[in-house]
Amino acid sequence: MTPKTRGIPAPLKNPTVDVVRKSWNALSRIYRPPGRVADCFGHDEREYLEWLSRLSGSLSPGSKVLDLGCGTGVPAARFLSEKFQVTGVDLSDTMIRRARRLVPKGTFIRGDMTEVNLPEREYAAIIALYSIIHVPLTAQRKLFGRIHGWLSPRGRFLAVLGHAACEGWERGWLGSDVPMYWIHADAGTYRGWLSSAGFDVIEQRFVPEGGGGHELFLARARSERG
């Protein structure tokens, strides 16, 4: 993904949730091949577990954890479900079917993270790893507010978001015959959005990927926003 100007890029015309859902249905086994410990970008289980360990160490056994854009549940939901009550949400029917099979201890919901109805103050932690960047930018800032509402006071939020402002609409993504859409603001904008939604950023770092990369945030919910 080629970075564009800093800040918020203008959104593409008519990127639909249905396109992203259908594309992930087709790409599930390309992105996360069966039996592999790494995704197609080379992010392996060890990398994910290092991030998740920073989160899980702050949680009590049996805590409720929400995984937004859970994909197949591997490796994040699978790792977390060994100690916690994990609920995963994903747009893709194929991803959810695989997650239910691969992570039998988890609960998985096929739905749009921007619209799904979840209980307030229910979760001790929420994760969203490379998933929010497929949500239209106009909905992303509002989503942080929803996430804050789902978290218990001082709950943790772990996300991999954008590093540089970028937008992409690529046909034949990952060598397939389907398109994919993504959009993200730059890391400074995300940090500001998180603060406005009621989060204090505990940790922030760059996650390299090819010639570019993303930004990892670990944040804690304040009791009140602002």
| Contacts of range 102-108, beta carbons closer than 8 Å, 24 or more positions apart | 102/72, 102/73, 102/74, 102/78, 103/73, 103/74, 103/77, 103/78, 105/81, 106/67, 106/70, 106/73, 106/77, 106/78, 106/81, 108/70, 108/73, 108/77
What pLDDT does residue 5 have? 38
pLDDT value of position 3: 38
Whole-number Å distance between alpha carbons of 38 and 92: 20
User: What pLDDT score was predicted for residue 214?
Assistant: 96
Q: Which residues pair with 90 in a beta bridge?
A: 110
User: Are residues 165 and 6 in contact, defined by beta-carbon separation less than 8 angstroms?
Assistant: yes
Give the per-residue pLDDT at 219. 98
Least confident of 6-15, 143-152, 183-192: 6-15
How many Å apart are CA 203 and CA 41, to the nearest integer? Answer: 23
Rounded to whole angstroms, the Cα distance separating 113 from 103 reads 20
Average pLDDT of the residues in 41-60? 90
- DSSP letter at 126? E
Give me the pLDDT at residue 19, please: 84
pTM for this predicted structure: 0.91
* Residue 75 identity (one-letter amino acid): P
Query: 132 is written with which tokens?
Result: 């929010």
Residue 11 has pLDDT above 70, yes or no: no
Q: What stretch of H or E contains 113?
A: none
pLDDT of 9 over the 80 cut = no
Domains of the chain: 17-221 (3.40.50.150)
Which residues, 6+ apart, have CB-to-CB distance to 41 below 8 Å? 209, 210
3-state secondary structure 140-190: HHHHHHHHHHHEEEEEEEEEEEECCCEEEEECCHHHCCCCEEEEECCHHHH
Mean pLDDT of all residues belonging to the chain:
90
Q: What is the pLDDT of residue 7?
A: 56
Does the structure show a pLDDT above 90 at 209? Answer: no
pLDDT in tens, 172-198: 888 888 888 899 999 999 999 999 999
pLDDT the model gives residue 16: 67
Under 8 Å between Cβ of 60 and 84: no
State pLDDT tens for residues 51-107.
999 899 999 999 999 999 999 999 999 999 999 999 999 999 999 999 999 999 999
Phi, psi of 17 (to 5 degrees): -60, -35
pLDDT value of residue 2: 36
